[in-house]
Amino acid sequence: MKKLFSITIFVTVISLLYACGDRTANDGKTNIIRDSMVNLLPNYRAVHINVSEDRSELTVVVADTKFYPASAEERSKKAEELGKMILRIYGKDNYLQKGSLVLTKDINNTSDAPADGIKTPIDFEGLKKVVFPN
């Protein structure tokens, strides 16, 4: 009887931990994005990804001291490349509509809006037409 009770408690605790976990990474796609960042920004030091609850917005905060002083044009190009990469990872039938690439120098940042953050928009709706033309 004690074993059955212990197993029931264990399963309940595991279920609750899973349900309360980070909803941004439970599908594994944010981990793929995180692992793929080295292809886009090879000198990045840290990355933080947040997906909105309805999965329509995605924010990628990247700590990269070498790319941080890049021009607005270079940041826009990287944001577009990142958007295309994310769309390929998420596939054609996704809910993403808009996003942001936020650059920071702070490698310990865990915020979606760091104090020194430079935000560049990602237009997923427009990029879907390029990545998935049909």
SS (H, E, C) the chain: CHHHHHHHHHHHHHHHHHHHCCCCCCCCHHHHHHHHHHHHCCCCCEEEEEECCCCCEEEEEEECCCCCCCCHHHHHHHHHHHHHHHHHHHCCCCCCCEEEEEEECCCCCCCCCCCCCEEEEEEHHHHHHHHCCC
What span, in angstroms and rounded, lies between the C-alpha atoms of 134 and 131?
9
Say if 62 falls within a structural domain.
yes
- Total domains present in the chain: 1
Q: What confidence category does residue 41 fall into, taking pLDDT thresholds of 50, 70 and 90?
A: very high
Q: Tell me the residue range of the domain where 56 lies.
A: 24-131
Residue type for position 81: E
Q: In this predicted structure, what is the pLDDT of residue 68?
A: 96
Global pTM value = 0.78
Distance from the first to the final alpha carbon of the chain: 59
Say if 16 falls within a structural domain.
no
Q: In this predicted structure, what is the pLDDT of residue 8?
A: 54
Distance of CA 29 to the CA centre of its chain: 8
Say if 7 falls within a structural domain.
no
Say if 1 falls within a structural domain.
no
